[in-house]
Structure 1
Amino acid sequence: MFESMPFISNETFQQIFQSSVEAIMLVDQQGRILLANPVTERMFGYEKGAMIGLLVEDLLPEQMRAKHVGYRKNFTDHPEPRPMGMGRDLIAKRKDGSQFPVAVSLSYTNVDGQILVMAFISDITERKKAEEALKRSEEQLLVYASELEKKVQSRTEDLASTITALEKEVQVRKKAEEEARKALDRERELNELKSKFVSIASHEFRTPLSTVMSSASLISQYTEKGEPDKVNKHVLRIKSSVNHLTSILNDLLSLGKLEEGKVDVNKESIQLSEFLKEVKEEITSTLKAGQRLEVRIGNAVEYLSSDARILRNILFNLISNASKYSDENKAIHIECFMDGGNVAFAVRDEGIGIPAEDQKHMFDRFFRASNAGNVQGTGLGLNIVKRYVDLLNGTISFSSVHGKGSIFTVIIPTR
């Protein structure tokens, strides 16, 4: 059958064909399957040899068969190689009737005057899932931006109504002017927040979304080439990007709840050694390679009456910052000790530190230190931590030396 390839024997061809990690079919001009390797048989759910003699259209949903006959005839009339990604994505049908998306690349050879088509088939189910996930993320971002715009418009309308009412109250003009000034300040602050949010959305969302898209495309290519290490590498990149997006959305949702006063404090008795053990176990997997948590608890520290969920969020945020701004293989130190009648938590890192000129702004919304570089972040974390600490009637302070590290200390009442 393959006299047109003198450089390779039929036996060698069969060995290559049968052992290939890709799904491959050989089809004649009438669309009849002449050969199908084991990968193809497994992909479509057929027993060995059971696909021989079937029409290619038998592997498609019934509603697509007639149109595909035309595609096939057009190819055999004007044959030319069609690389993966240059053709059409199709819906294929397994023997059991279930359907799945595939990408197909085509090659051909002329044997005894007949065109034989070699089809290379890839199951792109995972790629389609990734594309759909990306689409949903973009839609969620647009919804959030739309809601923010509505809130700005609502605040603006409220401001206009307030100013109109104040103008009618001449006898309290001074007070009215002060209220108007405060309202204008709030409006200006809201507009600034909107601008900063748009800036964050355009960078902090676009970068990981682009990473997800490019990695999803590369996964398909590396799967076809049988390069699992590269596939795993890009799966990890997608997971990292999704985690980053989740972190950003969590920050924004937390800030929104705090702004609207929807965070309640529910106190409970917290056994501190067990609590810090759980915190360590939960966050260790998110640290950089080689980083380790070193936890030390003073002998006098046993119990604390506070909100465990809020306290966990505070420590998670501080530890996450310490990890982000420290190199690999560095230690992060957590110390818990009594401070008068209060409990103190000190989180110390050996990272890049905070420049002196930036330290006065560290708890401002959207502020990031000038040496943050390419480290991912929204500039909301410490602002959220400060608000959580205030809810627990506590205090937060820090000291830092540029290039040597930082210590953040949170002091919480024991009751």
Structure 2
Amino acid sequence: MHEQTDAYEEKRLEILKSCRLLDSIPDYAFDRIVLTLKEVCQVPIALFGLMDQHREWFKAKIGCDLTEAPRETSYCNVALKRQQILIIPDTLQDPVFKDQPRYLKEQLVRFYAGVPLITPDGYGLGVLCIIDFIPRELTPGQLLTMTELARQVVIEIQKRRVIESISRQTQERISHQRKDRFFLKLGIGFGLVIVLRFISVLPSLWTNSRFQTLSQWVIHTQEVLTKINELKLSLQGAQLAVRNYTILNNRATNLSYYSAHLKNIYRHLDQLDALTQDNPNQRPDVKQLRLLLIHDNEILNQLIHGIDRQDFNTVQKIYSSQEALSVVSDLLQTLERIEGRELVLLDQRQQAFRTSEKLNPVIIWTNFSITLLILIVILVWIYHEIRLRYHGESQANRQEEFLEVTLASIGDAVMMTDANETITLMNPVAEVLTDWPHQEAVGQKFSTVLNLINTETQAFYPSPVVAAISSQVNQFLHDGVSLVRRNGETIDVDDSCAPIIGANGLVAGCVMVFRDISEQRRQEEQMTQTLQREQEINSLKNSFISMVSHEFRTPLTSIFSSTELLASFDGQAHPERQDKHLQRIYTSIRRLEQMLDDVLLIGRVESGKLQFQPELMNLELVIEDIVEAIQSGIGRHHQIKANFDNVVEPVFMDAKLIKFIFTNLLSNAVKYSLPMHPVELSVGIVNTGIEIQVIDHGIGIPAEDLPKLFRTFQRASNVGNIHGTGLGLSIVKTCVDLHGGSIEVESVLDQGTRFKVWLPNHSTTLPKVGSPELINTAN
């Protein structure tokens, strides 16, 4: 016995937690094992418990709703400490436990059996146990099954332990690889320096760009001021030309001057308008200036027109009118306002230009200093990464070696994939099971190497890796899944597939653990068949007891009552009544005899002692004897019509089995029909065999009873009080099968039933009667 030291217990709990089974959701694989254990051992409660530090937590349970129990008061704790199977046939009689009663569901536990679950490295994690509330013993077969199921539990635990270990190591390796991407980090570092250097140039470029922009703005403002001055000069020239045109004699020359100045005025005005498009403050005055110039031009034109007509009064009025004076005044004021704003704007832009000129060297030196500081930091970081690289490589190599040793040492096949379902790793067991060498399998898609199919339908089975990656939940294969190896061989497999979640919460791949369970599945099928057989036997026993208690009691009661009545008669009185009671006794005895014969025949069938012994026989004579016997018995009030169609030659069949077949079919036809409805029997040759049909017009058989009609002790649901054992049709089916024939039934409720029996006739392969071959064979 392993000494439970503190170091051992600490390591045991560490392994238990690494399996990640405590306080987890129900698991189909463990539930199936516990259910199988309960059915095999025929106990009310079966449990699979994991032993934590202070409690026993039940991962799988059947028959109770407990989630956990105290560890110290548990029988399982004793089994775990002993590290060997613990069986207590009767807790009240056991010398160790009789003074320590345990209760479950407020009932006293009288029987306990538990197998400790010990890992290959010697650590006990839990117990697989069964409990009953009555004393009992385990059969050798049950004990062997329990031990095997405990081994299966350990295998399932190891699978999950390996999956968690590989998943954890893979996450650490992925995380380390991300941290250890030295050259990537080095490239990023230098790239960052280049980017920062480029960024540092941007302020200088921005300063130069702003410097040029401010310079252009100053030039633009100066151009506006120039256009304003030119507009003033052109306006003054136009007014002077009109005045000279009025006073001087050289009117043609002055008029041409006026026209030239007028064109210049509008040209300068258009240029001024274009130059002030980006200045909303100037726009209203520029528009007002255009209107005033138009008005002033109209006044000047009136003066010229008045002079040309020699209308000096009109000229005098225009010169002295308030309107002419105000237009000229408004023109000058508007131009002065425009010019004043431009002068202020010019001063502001010149000031900004001088400030930008001073700021540019400061920005350049500041950016250079920041870039130098960042470069120093990056170089220090790169130096630190170089120091860590050596330690990281050493640790990664150790983890890689440990992973390879772990995968090579476990008994199950292990495969790993990336997030794209591409195989990245497989252990030697996986190579053997899939028939794919490691070097060829790595890089292939999962479904290419692990070709899974449904065992029953041979259809493609969906990839568990796809399901695990999409759902991020562990996947388990259902029953009936096979692996098609590379060489075409098919084996049964059982597996689990777990996603590998990276540090970023995304699926980085999957790890799949699987094994060959062909032998285990054969054992499970045998176990299932054994259980079904035992259940059928128990059902047959119950049906037999029910049949005996019912069917035997009726004739026995009739015999007993008739015997009592006969005993009360004297020898001479009532002879007809005596005959009636004697006949009743005879009929009841025959009925009992028939039931016993049927039961014994079923017994011979079950034990395999009923054999097919064919011989040459006259089928017509045999069936006529059967018909005659039934007509003289239960069918004495019925009419049986027999029709033989060209069946004259002897047939090669078992006469004994023929009697069983048609005695039961005709008896049932008579029993379930009224006397006024005849029973029809026809015999004919069909496909080198003999077809016999038995037709009645009785109560019929319900459609739901037809599929189970030939089972032992099975009777239709509408038979009512008509006596019967439920053995007849089972005997008929057995006898037909022994002949290698077939039987069909057609029935309509309340209209009748047709049984069609076809039996092969091998007499065509035998010598003719009287031939030398037959005589020599007989001799």
Q: Is the 8 A contact 2:630 2:636 kept in 1?
A: no
Aligned to 2:626: 279
For residues 748 and 693 of structure 2, the distance between their equivalents in structure 1, rounded to whole angstroms, comes to 16
In the alignment, the residues of structure 2 paired with residue 251 and residue 275 of structure 1 have an alpha-carbon distance, to the nearest angstrom, of 20
Q: CA deviation at 1:391?
A: 0.3
Residue in structure 2 matched with residue 164 of structure 1 by the alignment: 143
CA contact (8 A) 1:223 1:231 kept: no
Distance change in 2, residues 1:178/1:275 (3 Å): closer
Q: Which piece of structure 1 moves more, 371-380 or 320-329?
A: 320-329
Q: Which has the larger radius of gyration?
A: 2
- Give the equivalent residue in structure 2 for 1:176: 523
Q: TM-score, normalized by length of structure 2? A: 0.32
**1:310 maps to what in 2?**
657
User: For 1:151-171, what per-residue CA distance to the aligned partner results, in whole angstroms no more than 9, with x for missing partners?
Assistant: xxxxxxxx9433434455658
CA shift, 1:376, in A, is 1.1
Residue 669 of structure 2: which of 309, 322, 327 is its match? Answer: 322
Amino acid at match of 1:213: F
Q: Residue in 2 aligned with 1:377?
A: 724
Q: Deviations over 1:101-153 (max 9, x none)?
A: xxxxxxxxxxxxxxxxxxxxxxxxxxxxxxxxxxxxxxxxxxxxxxxxxxxxx
CA RMSD in angstroms comes to: 2.2
Q: Does 1:397 align with 2:744?
A: yes
Indicate the structure with greater helix content.
Answer: 2
Runs (5+) with no aligned partner, structure 2: 1-137, 152-516, 763-779
1:208 aligns with 2:558: no
Distance 1:281 1:224 in 2: 34
Match of residue 408 from structure 1: 755
Distance 1:274 1:174, change over 3 A: closer
CA contact (8 A) 1:332 1:348 kept: yes
Q: How does 1:49-198 map to 2 (within 5 A)?
A: 160-167=139-146, 172-198=519-545
Give the conservation status (yes or no) of the 8 Å contact 1:166–1:176: no
The alpha carbon displacement at 1:303 in A equals 2.9
Note if contact 1:301-1:343 (Cα within 8 Å) is conserved in structure 2: no
Report the alpha carbon displacement of residue 305 of structure 1 after superposing the two structures with TM. 0.8
Provide the rounded CA distance (Å) in 2 between the counterparts of 1:199 and 1:211. 19
In the alignment of these two chains, the number of paired residues is 258
Aligned to 2:639: 292
Higher mean displacement: 386-395 or 198-207: 198-207
In 2, the alpha carbon distance for the partners of 1:387 and 1:308 equals 14
1:174 Cα deviation after fit? 3.7
Q: 1:173 to 1:241 in 2, by over 3 A?
A: same
Unaligned runs of 5+ in 1: 1-158
Change (3 A) 1:300 1:220: closer
| Alignment partner, residue 360 of structure 1 | 707
1:197-276 to 2 correspondence within 5 Å?
197-223=544-570, 226-276=573-623
Deviations 1:43-75 (CA, angstroms, capped at 9, x unpaired): xxxxxxxxxxxxxxxxxxxxxxxxxxxxxxxxx
Task: Say if 1:166 and 1:173, in contact at 8 Å, map to a contact too.
Answer: no
- Cα pair distance change 1:409/1:223, threshold 3 Å: farther
C-alpha contact 1:333 1:349 (8 A) present in aligned 2: yes
TM-score of the superposed pair, with normalisation by structure 1? 0.58
Which structure has more RCO (C-alpha within 8 Å, separation ≥ 6)? 1
Change (3 A) 1:272 1:175: closer
How far the C-alpha of 1:279 sits from its partner, in A, is 2.5
* 2:346 matched residue in structure 1: none
Indicate the residue corresponding to 2:74 in structure 1.
Answer: none
Q: Contact 1:271–1:302 at 8 Å: present in 2 too?
A: yes
CA deviation string 1:176-206 (max 9, x = no partner): 3332222111111111111111111111111
Is 1:162–1:180's contact at 8 Å kept on the other side of the alignment? no
Letter in 2 for 1:209: L
Cα separation, 2, equivalents of 1:223 and 1:349: 45
Contact 1:355–1:370 (8 Å) recurs in 2: yes
* 8 Å contact kept, 1:349–1:406: yes
Q: Percent identity?
A: 37
Q: Secondary structure at the match of 1:379?
A: coil
Range with bigger deviation, 236-245 or 169-178: 169-178
Matched residue type, 2:722: V
In 1, the alpha carbon distance for the partners of 2:670 and 2:139 equals 46
Change in 2 beyond 3 A, CA 1:300/1:190? closer
* Kept after mapping to 1: 8 A contact 2:743/2:756: yes
1:376 maps to a residue whose letter is H
**8 Å CA contact 1:163, 1:180 repeated in 2:** no
Give the distance between the partners of 1:323 and 1:362, measured in 2 at CA.
18
Q: In 2, distance between residues paired with 1:307 and 1:224?
A: 47
Tell me the amino acid that sits aligned with residue 536 of structure 2.
E
1:294 Cα shift? Answer: 1.2
Q: In structure 2, what is the Cα distance between the partners aligned to 1:368 and 1:389?
A: 19
CA contact 2:710–2:733 (8 Å) conserved in 1: yes
